[in-house]
């Protein structure tokens, strides 16, 4: 209970800090939202890139990532993965929801495509599924390649 309250307070401080910065400099909010969207898309692209580069290795025309670069990508991914579960959801999404006063998520088109309603419960569930799929793909590629 005490740890849960501490985590909620830390997340509230982070969100308030970001909102205060955005109030001073309007463009920062747009930059943060852009980074959030691009980071999510880049994670999906990295997973697909790594899977295809391993599957098609003998005939692959894609440049091969070195093990240090791959380890950096994995470390970055698992840091975000860890904080996603510690804060019980995406802190950047909660910031965007508070600052922009909208209820839009990057996974909303996927959720609607699956025939579900785009609400916070389905978003969290879909995010967890995407993170788990990506984690397994990263692990499989790393074990197969290195």
pLDDT value of position 9 = 92
15/2: higher pLDDT: 15
Number of domains into which the chain is organized: 1
pLDDT value of position 20 = 93
Arithmetic mean of pLDDT, 123-135: 83
Arithmetic mean of pLDDT, 21-40: 86
What is the residue range of 29's domain?
2-145
Q: What is the pLDDT of residues 79-97, one digit of tens each?
A: 888 888 888 888 888 998 9
**In whole angstroms, what is the distance from residue 11 CA to residue 3 CA?**
12
DSSP label at residue 57: G
The pTM of this model reads: 0.73
pLDDT value of position 22 = 92
Strand locations in the chain, DSSP E? none
Arithmetic mean of pLDDT, 87-115: 87
Q: Which two tokens stand for residue 145?
A: 């390649």
């Amino acid at each position: 209970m005490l740890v849960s309250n501490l985590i909620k307070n830390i997340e509230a401080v982070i969100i308030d800090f970001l909102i205060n910065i955005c109030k001073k400099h309007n463009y920062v909010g747009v930059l943060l939202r852009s980074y959030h969207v691009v980071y999510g898309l880049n994670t999906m692209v990295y997973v697909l890139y790594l899977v295809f580069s391993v599957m098609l290795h003998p005939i692959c025309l894609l440049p091969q990532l070195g093990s240090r670069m791959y380890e950096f990508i994995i470390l970055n991914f698992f840091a975000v993965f860890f904080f996603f579960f510690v804060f019980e959801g995406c802190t950047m999404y909660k910031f965007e929801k508070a600052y922009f006063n909208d209820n839009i998520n990057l996974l909303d088109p996927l959720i609607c495509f699956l025939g579900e309603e785009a609400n916070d419960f389905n978003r969290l569930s879909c995010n967890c599924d995407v993170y788990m799929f990506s984690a397994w793909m990263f692990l499989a590629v790393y074990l197969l390649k290195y």
